[in-house]
Amino acid sequence: MLVMKFGGSILKDSSDILEVSEYLAENVNEERIVAVVSAMKGVTDDLLMLGGLAASGKESKVMEILSKIRDRHLGICEELELNCDNVKEELRKLERVLLGITYTGEITPRLMDFISSLGENLSGEILTELLNKKKIKARFFTGGEAGIITDDFHGEANPLLMATKTYVRKKLLPIIDSMLPIVAGFSGVSQEGKITTLGRGGSDLTAVLLGSSLESREVWLWTDVDGLLTADPKIVRDARVIKQASYQEAIELAHFGAKNMHPRFLEPAITTNTPVRIRNFYNKRCQGTLISRRSVIEENVVKAVELMRNVSILTVKGTGMIGRPGTSAKLFSLLGENMLNILMISQSISESDISIVLSKKEVGKARALVETKLLGPIFREVLLDRNCAVVAAIGSGMRGTPGVAARVFRAISSKGINVKMISQGSSETNISFVVADEDGEEAVRLVHKEFNLRRNQHTDKC
Ligand code: ASP
Ligand code: MG
């Protein structure tokens, strides 16, 4: 069995939905499939905006965007010659709840979830009807109907894995031999029976939850890119697709913004060892990136080089810090209590300074806090290096392989790039270092080249 998710980036118009339905119709006889759909491109953004506009009483603007959503979906129904009664019913629900909010001027996270979850219902109902018209027996399920059970943290709900597994199996296993379930991504239901959403990009998580609950062979996430890449192609022109990544590597890559992934979408897969594959719907010859437990160095010790721009280094100094337990705790608690997110940490063995990397947006606040709350006999001085970039070489093959760091830094220094700060976690899947912002892109290219991550134009299908 395969669980397949069709992302919003490949659901733009009627021809996309037609293409997805044709693909499913061709493949459903080969192997059992559970399909997960995202909302059509941009629809979730529109729905979230509608909630806000309704709450501030902007009725005419609400009506304008609502008509846009209605025309877009009903237009597709017309082009595909579908009745779309269920789609119309979803649209009516949306209109009614928005009017209610407009009059009361009140919105709650629960109502917001009710509204934003409708995008997937609309695309899912259209696809289901189209498949039925093609004589493929398909049936639509909301996330909750398919058995996705979550806590009640509306807007960013966490799936309850045990309950979800039980319910998904109970709902889907009995029907899967006789029909094709089309499941709305992104939504679930709380134990109180209220609709929840899993956070932006949550359809990936829906697919992985279903796949691990149903013990599917693989989970395929169909999108419009070939997979995870060895580097940002805007920086390295000949970056290539990573064929295999471990869960850990994929999580590290997701952190650097590869493919807009949901931050926790792999969690259910790790517990059941379900392989997840990112594939390009427009380039099916390419097998994409397989993310699984295997961290085999079948490719390279370093698999990808990532860049994070717009960061700054804040350094706190003072000889009074030496040998005094609790100093770093003071610094980190202060920043944590003020919701400042630390990206990287380094303290030299002399203990006389601690450097941390923060986003450029937050560093001003961090410095002000340190100056007003900490400076004194222990923390003497605070320094700021504002325009920096983090470069990270990622790959589980680095673990226990000597000489990787030496190669990374030799490559950088060959062009005279200065390294300001270095960090490697003891998991050894990532060497991160900070350079001046203007050196960042060049540093990525140098490391990419050093580890031969280039695409081979003759053999690579991706
Ligand atoms: N439609 C939701 C979003 O745009 C979920 C998803 O597409 O994965 O965030
Ligand atoms: Mg998406």
List pLDDT tens digits, range 412-421.
999 999 999 9
**pLDDT at residue 7, as a whole number:** 96
Q: Is residue 254, in this structure, part of any structural domain at all?
A: no
Q: Within this chain, do residues 54 and 182 fall inside the same structural domain, yes or no?
A: yes
Residue 246: is its pLDDT beyond 60? Answer: yes
Instruction: Please report whether residue 137 resides in a domain.
Output: yes
Residue 286 lies in a domain: no
- The CA-atom distances, in angstroms, between 288 and each of 39, 183, 226, 277, 372 are 23, 23, 5, 7, 51
Residue 425, pLDDT above cutoff 80: no
In a domain, 443, yes or no: yes
Kind of pairing, strands 276-280 and 244-246?
Answer: unpaired
Same domain, 40 and 165: yes
For residue 199, give the ligand 1 atom closest to its CA: 9
> Contact, 84 vs 126, CB < 8 A?
yes
The verdict on 325 and 415 lying in the same domain is: yes
Q: What is the pLDDT of residue 19?
A: 98
Are residues 204 and 73 part of one domain? yes
105 with 55: CB under 8 angstroms?
Answer: yes
Say how many CA atoms lie within 13 Å of 175 toward its Cβ.
Answer: 15
Q: Are residues 12 and 101 in the same domain?
A: yes
∠ CA 97-100-101 to the nearest 5 degrees? Answer: 90
Q: Is residue 233, in this structure, part of any structural domain at all?
A: no
pLDDT(259) > 70: no
Q: Is the pLDDT of residue 426 over 80?
A: no
200 lines ligand 1 (CB under 6 A): yes
Residues 139 and 15 in one domain: yes
The pLDDT-based confidence of 258 (bands split at 50, 70, 90) is low
pLDDT of residue 296: 59
Q: Which atom of ligand 1 is nearest to the CA of 8?
A: 7
pLDDT level of residue 460 (50, 70, 90 thresholds): confident
**Residue ending a domain, choose from 178, 194, 224:** 224
For residue 262, what pLDDT band results from cuts at 50, 70 and 90?
confident
User: How high is the pLDDT of residue 298?
Assistant: 55
Same domain for 184 and 312, yes or no, is no
Residues 318 and 421 grouped into a single domain: yes
Domain boundary among 193, 224, 255: 224
- For the record, the structure tokens of 5 come out as 């998710």
CATH number of the domain residue 311 falls in: 3.30.2130.10
Average pLDDT estimate for 269-276? 96
How much distance in Å is there from the Cα of 101 to the middle of ligand 1? 23
Could you give the C-alpha distances from 102 to 46, 66, 98, 260, in angstroms and in order?
Answer: 16, 13, 6, 32
Residue 292 falls within a domain, yes or no?
no
| Residue 335 and residue 196 share a domain | no
Specify the 3-state DSSP secondary structure of 4: strand
Neighbours of 83 (CB within 10 A): 10
Ligand 1 pocket test, candidate residues 45, 203, 222, most atoms within 8 A of CB: 203
Question: Is the CB of residue 185 below 6 angstroms from any atom belonging to ligand 1?
Answer: yes
Domain boundary, last residue among 169, 192, 224: 224
| CB of 8 sitting under 6 A from ligand 1 | yes
- Is the predicted pLDDT of residue 155 greater than 80, yes or no? yes
Q: Which ligand is nearest to the CA of 259?
A: 2
Q: Is the CB of 440 under 6 A from ligand 1?
A: no
Counted domains in the chain? 2
Domain assignment of residue 152, yes or no: yes
What's the average model confidence in pLDDT over 10-25? 98
Q: Report how far residue 148's alpha carbon sits from residue 142's, in angstroms, rounded to the nearest whole number.
A: 9
pLDDT at 119: 98
Band (299; pLDDT cuts 50, 70, 90): low
The boundaries of the domain holding residue 325 are 304-450
E-strand ranges in 232-367 read 244-246, 276-280, 289-292, 304-317, 344-347, 353-359
CATH of the domain at 37: 3.40.1160.10
| pTM, to two decimals | 0.89
Average pLDDT, the chain: 94
| Residue 3 near residue 207 (C-beta atoms within 8 A) | yes
436 token code pair:
């001046």
Nearest bound ligand to CA 39? 1
Least confident of 82-86, 211-215, 236-240, 396-400: 396-400
Residue 382 has pLDDT above 80, yes or no: yes
Query: Comparing C-alpha atoms, which of 95, 97, 96, 112 is closest to residue 52?
Result: 112
In the predicted structure, residue 170 carries a pLDDT above the cut 60: yes
| Atom 9 in ligand 1: residue holding the nearest Cα | 200
Structural tokens at position 91: 């649209």
Spell 390-410 as b/e; 16+ CB within 10 A means b. Answer: bbbbbbbbbeeeeebbeebbe
Residue 349: the pLDDT is 85
Of the pLDDT bands very low, low, confident and very high (cuts 50, 70, 90), residue 263 is confident
Residue 241 forms part of a structural domain? no
Q: Which residues pair with 315 in a beta bridge?
A: 355, 383
Are 309 and 200 contained in the same domain?
no
